[in-house]
Structure 1
Amino acid sequence: MSREQHIARTFVELADTLVEDFDVIGFLQQMTVRCQELLDVTDAAVFLSHSGHRLYSPAPCDPSPALERVLESACAEGPAVDAHRTARAVDTARAVEAHGPDDGASRWPQFTAHLRRAGYSLATALPMRLRQETIGSLLLLRSADRPLDAEDLALAQALADAATIGLLHARTIRQQDTVNEQLHTALQSRIIIEQAKGLLAARRDINLNEAFEIMRRHARRHRLLLSNVARDVIDTGSTLRSSAVLPRPSPADAD
Structure 2
Amino acid sequence: MSREQHIARTFVELADTLVEDFDVIDFLHQMTVRCQELLDVTDAAVFLAHPGPLLHSPAPCDPSPSLQRVLDAACTEGPAVDAYRTTRSVAAADEAETAARWPEFAPQLQQAGYSLATALPMRLRQENIGSLLLLRTGSRPLNADDLALAQALADAATIGLIQARTIHQQHTVNEQLHTALQSRIIIEQAKGVLAARSNITLNTAFEALRHHARHHRIMLSDVAQDVIHNGLTPAPAPARSQAAAADPE
TM-score (norm 1): 0.64
Indicate if the aligned counterparts of 1:125 and 1:140 stay in contact, CA closer than 8 A.
yes
* Same amino acid, percent of matched pairs: 77
CA contact (8 A) 2:47 2:57 kept: yes
2:143 alignment partner in structure 1: 149
Aligned residue runs from structure 1 range 109-124, under 5 A: 109-124=103-118
1:42 aligns with 2:36: no
CA distance in 2, matches of 1:53, 1:173: 27
The one of 132, 136, 147 equivalent to 1:138 is: 132
- 2:177 matched residue in structure 1: none
Structure 1 residue aligned with 2:12: 12
Q: Alpha-carbon deviations, 1:4-50, whole Å to 9, x = none?
A: 00000000000010110000000000000000000000000000011
Q: 1:43–1:61: 8 Å Cα contact kept in structure 2?
A: no
Give the RMSD, CA atoms, in angstroms. Answer: 1.8
Structure 2 unaligned residues grouped into runs of 5+: 173-249
Instruction: State the alpha-carbon separation in 1 of the partners of residues 163 and 137 from structure 2.
Output: 34
Q: What does the per-residue CA deviation read over 1:43-78, in whole Å, with 9 as the maximum and x for residues that have no partner?
A: 000000113641011132551001000000000000
**Match of 2:176?**
none
Number of equivalent positions = 172
Structure 1 or 2, whichever has the larger Rg, is: 2
Q: Select 2:165's aligned residue among 171, 188, 195.
A: 171
- Measured after TM superposition, the shift of residue 106 of structure 1 is 3.4
- Alpha-carbon shift at residue 176 of structure 1 (Å): 8.3
**Are residues 5 and 51 of structure 1, via their aligned partners in 2, closer, same or farther at CA, if it must alter by over 3 Å?**
same
SS at match of 2:47: strand
* Cα distance per residue 1:217-255 (max 9 Å; x no partner): xxxxxxxxxxxxxxxxxxxxxxxxxxxxxxxxxxxxxxx
In structure 2, give the amino acid aligned to 1:158: A
Q: Do the aligned partners of 1:90 and 1:126 also contact (CA within 8 Å) in 2?
A: yes
State yes or no: 1:128 paired with 2:128.
Answer: no
Shift of 1:102: 4.3
Structure scoring higher RCO (CA < 8 A, sep ≥ 6) equals 1
TM-score calculated relative to the size of structure 2: 0.66
